[in-house]
A and B are shown apart, each in its own frame.
Chain A
Amino acid sequence: MAHGDNSKEKIVYVGDSRVRRGSGFITPPDYTAYPGKSEAFIPNFLLKEWMVGVVVLVGILVLTISEPAPLGFPANANATVIPIPDWYFLFLYQYLKLPYASGDYIVLGTLGVTGVAFGSLLLAPFLDTGRERRFYRRPIASSLMFLSLIAIVYLTNTAWTEYKHEMAETGQIPEDVQREEKAAENKAKGLPTTSAVQAKEIAIVDKDDPAMALFKQATCVTCHAVDMKGAGGPSLRGVGDTHDKEAILAIIKNGQGQMPPMQDTAMAAGLSEQDIDSLATWLAKQKSEQ
């Protein structure tokens, strides 16, 4: 690791900034031994760099306070939202929409050009092996990079413009703006400001109806539970939302899925045809919203 002045090493570093290997305690070096105005990393240089860091930190905080992080409405597979990735993926997103990078040519898009571009970036030192470091003396590497940068800027801009245009055309407002407006409106009215989906427990309709006793007597409770929330079988709370009386009667008579026909079992437990009918009527009344 140590580099003397009479270096016979394979690699000679220009402006070597490493500490030479010594034995025991390393005394702070005499800076006059180095050409130019170099200085120790800690504390001299780090304090200067920290000043730059503070400016950046203040920048982030100003951004944070003036522009709160956006939050839309809860994910809903049925919502109509124009999908848009984070801004630094826009160029890739837009690129994969180009005719020769999508559809039948999608492999060219995902693996071909993208793979070659990122692959050559990853392996740049092994492709650009000349000793010249100044970019204007490396025309091929530099012009390829400039070309990529122009393409990235162009694609990002196109993607964003198209997104804005599409939003305006369909009359959509970004959801985070909508959510904030809604929250502010509700706050003014004294209503809850949340947009989160509230899990509401579905209540049993007409709990005192005699059919509730029939429900227990007919052994329905074995699978659907006494509280009707389901045990082996599904919950029957709110079953009236999806099934009418005829459908329920049919299921009792013929069974469904894992449920065997229950008509005879219910009769054996002492229910009459009419009891089953009123049980089905009552079940059909189990709607989640009243």
Chain B
Amino acid sequence: MFKNVYNWIDERLDITPIWRDVADHEVPEHVNPAHHFSAFVYCFGGLTFFITVIQILSGMFLTMYYVPDIINAYASVEYLQTKVAFGQIVRGMHHWGASLVIVMMFLHTMRVFFTGSYKAPREMNWVVGMLIFFVMLGLGLTGYLLPWDNKAYFATKVTLEIANSVPVMGPVLKELMQGGTIVGAETLTRFFALHVFFLPAVLLILLVGHFIMIRRQGISGPL
């Protein structure tokens, strides 16, 4: 039954080569920690993706309770943290995952840098990877405000002041992010929209590009 359905779809879309390429491509010995322990440094990219998946899943559950307005944001986070079953775990995973994804991504970047893997022909993949890094920092920055507690509020105020000090673009950038003249209701909804819709959308597009490129180019050879 399953085979018939698969064949029916495969006849029309020819999907076999796609997943066979993902499944069957050879993983060379020099990146396999089972053969060389030092090859664990090649795990950081995969772990970054793994934690990103955790972030997306836990974030989806958080939005079931979170209310992005200045009156209810704090109350909803506090309710989630203290009253909802496993709410503390889900929020905790999102909170710690946010830090760990930065750590893993940093280690991955350092691995790629010190093994010289960004060199021709993989220049474009490095640039896309750096863009992913910046988007991740953006996600961290916007997510920090969402609990709407004092730490979040004052940190965001300082961040926007720093953005404001950039010549020419600064004040425009600040007002765009702030959504007005003060850090308030508009800022919270803007950061929420950026954190939940805009930046994840950009992130997913970049990740697809990152993965397609590494499949087409293969992993860099041994040093």
Contact = CB atoms under 8 A, between A and B. Distances in A.
Interface of A: 1, 11, 13-19, 25-26, 28-29, 31, 34, 36-42, 44-45, 48-49, 52-53, 56-57, 60-61, 63-65, 67-77, 79, 81-89, 93, 96, 106-107, 109-111, 118, 121-126, 128-135, 138, 141-142, 145, 175-176, 183, 193-197, 199
- Ranked 10 nearest A-B pairs via Cβ: A14-B221, A133-B116, A64-B92, A125-B123, A69-B95, A15-B221, A36-B29, A75-B153, A196-B75, A72-B149
B74 A49 contact: no
Contact of A122 (B81, B98, B127, B137): B127
A122 B130 CA distance: 6
Given A65-B92, A74-B148, A131-B119, A13 B217 contact: yes
Describe B's contact surface by its main secondary structure: helix
B34 to A, nearest CB: 6
A138 B16 CA distance: 43
B93 interface: yes
Given A40-B26, A86-B144, A56 B51 contact: yes
Interface stretch (B160-168, B190-198, B202-210): B160-168
Contacts of B220: 14-15, 133
A36 B30 contact: yes
B78 A128 contact: no
A73 B140 contact: no
A135 B116 contact: yes
B interface, how many residues as a size bin? 35 or more
B26 A39 contact: yes
A39 B154 contact: no
A110 B20 contact: no
A123 B127 contact: yes
Given A18-B218, A60-B100, A107-B166, 16 more contacts: A16-B218, A16-B221, A26-B24, A37-B35, A45-B32, A52-B33, A60-B96, A81-B154, A85-B155, A88-B99, A107-B167, A125-B122, A126-B123, A130-B119, A141-B113, A176-B151
B5 interface: no
Contact of B140 (A60, A83, A86): A86
A126 B100 CA distance: 29
B180 to A, nearest CB: 14
Contacts of B52: none
B64 interface: no
Interface in B94-123: 94-100, 102, 110, 113-123
Describe A's contact surface by its main secondary structure: loop
Interface of B: 16-17, 20-30, 32-35, 40, 43, 46-47, 50-51, 54, 70-71, 74-75, 77-78, 81-82, 88-89, 91-100, 102, 110, 113-123, 126-127, 130-131, 134, 137, 140-141, 144, 147-155, 157-159, 162, 165-167, 170, 215-223
B94 A76 contact: no
Contacts of A65: 89, 92
Contact of B165 (A29, A71, A110): A110
Contacts of B221: 13-16
26 contacts: A1-B216, A14-B222, A15-B30, A18-B215, A18-B218, A38-B26, A40-B25, A52-B47, A56-B51, A60-B51, A60-B97, A61-B93, A63-B96, A64-B88, A64-B93, A64-B96, A69-B81, A69-B92, A71-B147, A74-B148, A76-B153, A83-B154, A86-B155, A88-B102, A125-B122, A135-B116
Contacts of A126: 123
Contacts of A48: 32-34
Nearest to B47: A56
Contacts of B110: 145
Contacts of B117: 133
A199 to B, nearest CB: 7
Q: Which of A89, A138, A145 has the most CB of B within 10 A?
A: A89
Contacts of A29: 24, 26
Contacts of B34: 48
Contact of A49 (B25, B43, B141, B215): B43
Nearest to A141: B113
Nearest to A42: B23
A79 B150 contact: yes
